[in-house]
Every structure is written in C-alpha cells, then in structure tokens.
Structure 1
Amino acid sequence: GFYVGGQESANGWREVLKDLYDRGAQEVLLGVFDGLPGLDAAFKEVYPKADVQHCVVHKVRSTFPKIRVQHRTEVIEDLKTVYNAADEELARAAFDTVKAKWSKLYAKEMRSWEEQLPTLLTFYKYPALIKEAIYTSNPIERMNKEIRKRLKPMNSLTNMDAAEKVIYLDVIDYNERFAERVIRGFG
C-alpha cells in the first residue's frame, strides 16, 4: 500500500492494516516493528492471532545514546549475548546476567529491555534459519532510506503529486529488483 498521511498513530496504522486485510493479506502471522507508538495495538486488532517482533536493532540503537561512552562497547557486547543466544531460555538467562551487571548504572534502560523482552525475543518461536530475516525491520528501513536519498536532491518538486510519482516509481523499481530474490531461510 502507498499512503500519504500526517502523524503516525494507532488510528492511522489501523486504517492501513485494515486496507491491507481487505485487499487479501488476511493470514499474517508475524509483524516486525520498530516500536512506533500505536502500531502494535493496531496490528493485534486486525491480526489477533499474529505474533509481534520488535526490531532488536532499533532497540540497541535507542539504548546506545543513553549509555556512557566508556561503557557503550561493553554494554552492547553484553546485549548481543541476549539476542544471539541459541534459544529463548538461554537468551532470558543472558538478559538476567546483563541486567544484574548493569542495573545499578542503567536501571531505566535495563527496565525498558525487560519490559520489551517478550516481543524482542519472539523470533525464537520460529525456525533458526529465518532469524536474520525477522529479528529486525532493517530491510524496510533500507528501502525508506533509498527513497529519502532519491527525494533529497529534488528539493524543488512542484507539488505532492510529483513527490508521490518519484516514490511510486522507486518502489516499483525496488519491487522488480527484489521480486525474484528468496529471503534467507525461506527458500
């Protein structure tokens, strides 16, 4: 779908998701999100049986600036033990270790991770072969970055229709380039 809208909100996302549902995307089993407010709730409303996976990469990136410079490398390496664990049980044990180590200095960040842990570790319910495809929303972010990169030098677009045409053509090109690719683990 292609939608032009204002603020990202639960109502806005609900309309987008309902449109996708009405157009045939009715058996969605997993949504991978970067943590936008309202998106999870809207998704669960339209697809109540589906799982939610929060993007681990976004979570790490949002944690990074809140960590003192001298601790950043160590904290990030410790967090990797959580999402790179062999299974969910080991991931939760790794988080307990990280939490015990860093809670005194970074209580708020560790609490945030703990609250989101169930949706950060959803990918463990799925085959290990597809982990890399579902634990992050980076492929979508990459496409958005390419679109922004294309629009930036065109700062003199005459109107919204012109911008929409550029985006539409970029998305068509993107779809054609990736249509035959098989996502690792899904072949």
Structure 2
Amino acid sequence: MSVAAIIAVAVNTDGRREIVGLHIGPSEAEPFWTSFLRSLVKRGLSGTRLVISDAHEGLKSAITRTMSGATWQRCRVHFMRNALAHVPRSQNTVVAAAIRQVFVQPDHASATTAWRHVADQLRERWPKLGKLMEDAEADVLAYMAFPARHRTKLHSTNPLERLNKEVKRRADVVGIFPNEASITRLVGAVLLEQNDDWQLQHRYMQIEGMAELDAETAPEIADNNAPHITPPPTPKAA
C-alpha cells in the first residue's frame, strides 16, 4: 500500500533551518494533519508564526486548531499552477504575468490592492479563476506581512520540495519497504544528514530581520528559541 511521508522544516529565531518532524500515514486528510501538528506541539514546538504548504485538504483548519497565533501561507508556486489550469494554455503566459505583478508590490496593502484589481480583470473572461483568486487572497499573500528581506524564503515550499526529491531518490532505490519502521530508518537517516549540513551552513534568514517581527510576540519566541524541539527517536540506518 502507498503511504505518505510528511516532513516539517522550520527556521528558528537564530535564522537557521531545522528538520522538526517526520510523520507517516496512509492519507493526507485532516485527521492526519491534526495528528502530525499535535505531535510537533507536544514535543515542544512553540512560537510558530507562519506555516507554508500546498493547499492540502484540512491542513488550514488543523493549523487553526493546533497552532495558536500561526497563519497559513499557501505555496505561491502551487497556487499559480492551480490558477493557470482555469485558462487556455495559449493564455498562460499573459495570465501568469498579470498575477506576478502582485508579487512585486512593496508591501501587503499594495499587494492586496493589486491582487483585487487583477482578479477583477480576469474574472470577466474566466469566472472560475476570479473566484479562485477571491478565495485565496489572504492565504497567498500572508507572507507579505513579514519582513521584506525574508519574503523570498516564505512564499513557497520550494526549499522543502528539493529535500523531498532527495528523500524520494533514496527511497526509490529500495522500492518496497517491509514496514513503517524501515521507512523511518531510511528517511530519518536522510533527514539527519541534511539537518547536520544545515547547522554548518550560513544562516538561512538574517537574524536582523527576526527583530522586525511583531514586538509583542518576538521576545517570547526568542526566549524559547523556537522551533528547537526534542527530536523523535530515529534509528540509525544499517
């Protein structure tokens, strides 16, 4: 049977990336996401400000229930693919260029104004696309409320996708696993290697930008140095 291996990557208040979770399950429905997020919180994850992902079913509501104070960023790359699916292929370049004008705006207010203007223009020819943009506005533009210097790291899941490709490459060598424990051993070993590499690299986000976060919550996050959490026991690969 096919199973999903979900990986959570976070950036702590030192600006460094960490792999904070791995969860394996038969589907990606809302109970699955809720269980995964609760396991992260139970192990000590706190001070979460933004969760970035594709538009998985039930994930947004799971975030609301389990991570107080966190907002959801819908991956901009995945959203663009969803949007272009509503227009003829011959119009993809034009529509993509129109939507991208929103993302070059200097702040959240300007981006919101531009988004609504573009949505109104596109709605005349493609009502479904207009409705999609109307519903997705807050989720796609959530990253614009964060420091400008960090926005290129916050608007999509591209960094995680690269990690997922490496995990898939290693898993494809095995093909079929005898049980979930064997999946955890292999994937866990790959993640441990990557996590160690990240600790030796330069900061993923500049620490100066962290000081620009909300003054009411940033000190609390800094005290906890989120998202450092106790890792789950992961057997070493044989």
Q: Do they fold alike, i.e. is TM over 0.5?
A: yes
Q: Distance in 2 between matches of 1:155 and 1:163?
A: 11
Q: Is the 8 A contact 1:130 1:186 kept in 2?
A: no
AA aligned to 1:47 is M
Partner-residue secondary structure (3-state), 1:153: helix
1:90 maps to 110
AA aligned to 1:37 is E
1:137 maps to 157
What do residues 96-132 of structure 1 show as CA deviations (whole Å, max 9, x unaligned)? Answer: 3322332122211121111110111111211101101
Q: Is the 8 A contact 2:143 2:154 kept in 1?
A: yes
What do residues 35-94 of structure 1 show as CA deviations (whole Å, max 9, x unaligned)? Answer: 101111111111121122111111012222332121100100111011221112221222
- Aligned-residue identity in percent: 22
1:61 maps to 81
Q: Distance in 2 between matches of 1:163 and 1:51?
A: 31
Once the two structures are TM-superposed, the CA of residue 165 in structure 1 deviates from its matched residue by 2.1
Q: Is the 8 A contact 1:60 1:76 kept in 2?
A: yes
Distance 1:52 1:158, change over 3 A: closer
Partner-residue secondary structure (3-state), 2:25: coil
Q: 1:79 aligns with which of 99, 116, 126?
A: 99
- Listed as ranges, the gaps of 5+ residues in structure 2 are 1-20, 209-238
Q: Distance in 2 between matches of 1:159 and 1:15?
A: 20
RMSD over aligned CA atoms reads 1.8
Q: 1:28 aligns with which of 11, 29, 48?
A: 48
Q: Is the counterpart of residue 8 in structure 1 residue 8 in structure 2? A: no
Q: Is the 8 A contact 2:52 2:73 kept in 1?
A: yes
1:183 maps to 204
Could you say which structure has the greater relative contact order, defined with CA pairs below 8 angstroms and 6 or more residues apart? 2
Partner-residue secondary structure (3-state), 1:85: coil
User: Across the two proteins, how many residue pairs are aligned to each other?
Assistant: 187
- Listed as ranges, the gaps of 5+ residues in structure 1 are none
Q: Which has the higher strand share?
A: 2
Q: Which has the higher helix share?
A: 1
1:120 maps to 140
Q: Distance in 1 between matches of 2:123 and 2:81?
A: 18
Once the two structures are TM-superposed, the CA of residue 161 in structure 1 deviates from its matched residue by 3.7
AA aligned to 2:51 is G
Partner-residue secondary structure (3-state), 2:52: strand
1:17 maps to 37
Q: Is the 8 A contact 2:107 2:144 kept in 1?
A: yes
Q: Is the 8 A contact 1:30 1:51 kept in 2?
A: yes
Q: 1:163 aligns with which of 183, 206, 213?
A: 183
What do residues 137-181 of structure 1 show as CA deviations (whole Å, max 9, x unaligned)? Answer: 211122112111222233255554433322111111111222233
